[in-house]
Amino acid sequence: MALKEISKNKCFNGHVVKYEHVSQELQCTIKFNVFLPAEALSCSAPQKVPAIYFLSGLTCTEDNFTQKSGAMAEAAKHGIALIMPDTSPRGVPIEGDEDSWDFGTGAGFYLDATHPKWAKHYRMYSYVVKELPALIYKELPIDETRVSIMGHSMGGHGALTIYLKNPEKYRSVSALSPIAHPTQCPWGQKAFSNYLDANDKEAWKEYDTVELLKKKPTQLQQQNVLIDVGTADGFLEKELLIDHLERVTKELNVEKQWKIRYQEGYDHSYFFIATFIADHIQHHAAALK
């Protein structure tokens, strides 16, 4: 499980480091990026710093958010590390895993597959929640008691569902353009019907933000969630289904805890992410103090 450093670049007095390791969960070699702020790198008195996991969307690798979001500038102000994993296993011997852009490679959907064809390698849920954190907390100066999670699109789905299922692990959560109700949209239905049992739609609900909220977890009233989505997002009505999420938060009387903001004229791109990423870092910084 040892980390192999692939590259290191100075950034806002910290470093962006790319690591590689052999994953037991994914049964392949996988890469991830980490931004370590200056506080974690001090020669005289290095500190364990808080961290935010960022989960990326369909087709992305660990590099998209790292290179395009501008998040390091705001994270450096607060002395916060950023952890950017890949979105799926890579180079695994599964027929058809590179046939489409919204399924297979680059589209792990942050779940643990149960269908025999995919179950050996497609275990991004356990990788993000268990294996990667255990490795990072052992080898890097990250304070595991001060950790949050956020994501975009498929990664927003991942961040919200992972947080709801593991509230004790994360101080806060946020999402940009998340796939809010994947059991009811084409992207989610394609993924779940292949990765999971196509006939067991109750099992699908374990990876669906709207369905998880309906279970009324006991911690609901203590949550503080930030969600941004652009009104010009081409996926808003068919794939993201933010209105379904908005409706259930009102039904559960937690719309104040689940702050959903519609940003006029913004789309699904990294221009949108770069515009609002400082708000999201600040949201988490308040929880990570």
> Is residue 21 annotated as part of the catalytic site, yes or no?
no
> Token digits for 279?
């708000």
Closest Cα partner for 92 from 113, 122, 59, 112? 122
> Token digits for 187?
């992207």
- Percent helix, strand and coil across the chain, each rounded to 5? 40, 25, 35
Catalytic position from the list 56, 148, 153, 177: 153
Q: How many CA atoms lie within 13 A of 119 on its CB side?
A: 5
Return all residues near 288 (Cβ < 8 A) that are at least 6 apart.
50, 52, 78, 80, 146, 147, 148, 171, 172
Catalytic position from the list 97, 233, 280, 283: 233
How many angstroms separate the Cα of 217 from the Cα of each of 29, 136, 173, 251?
36, 29, 15, 14
**Strand, helix or coil for residue 24:** coil
> Is residue 267 annotated as part of the catalytic site, yes or no?
no
> From start to end of 12-141, where are the E strands?
14-23, 28-36, 49-55, 81-85
Contact status, residue 62 vs residue 156, Cβ threshold 8 Å: no
Contact status, residue 181 vs residue 217, Cβ threshold 8 Å: no
Task: Report which secondary-structure segment, H or E, holds 139.
Answer: helix 132-139
Give 186-248 as a DSSP string: HHHHHHHHHHS-TT-HHHHGGG-HHHHHHT--TTGGG--EEEEEETT-TTIIIII-HHHHHHH
Catalytic position from the list 268, 280, 283, 284: 268
> Is residue 284 annotated as part of the catalytic site, yes or no?
no
Catalytic residues: 153, 233, 268
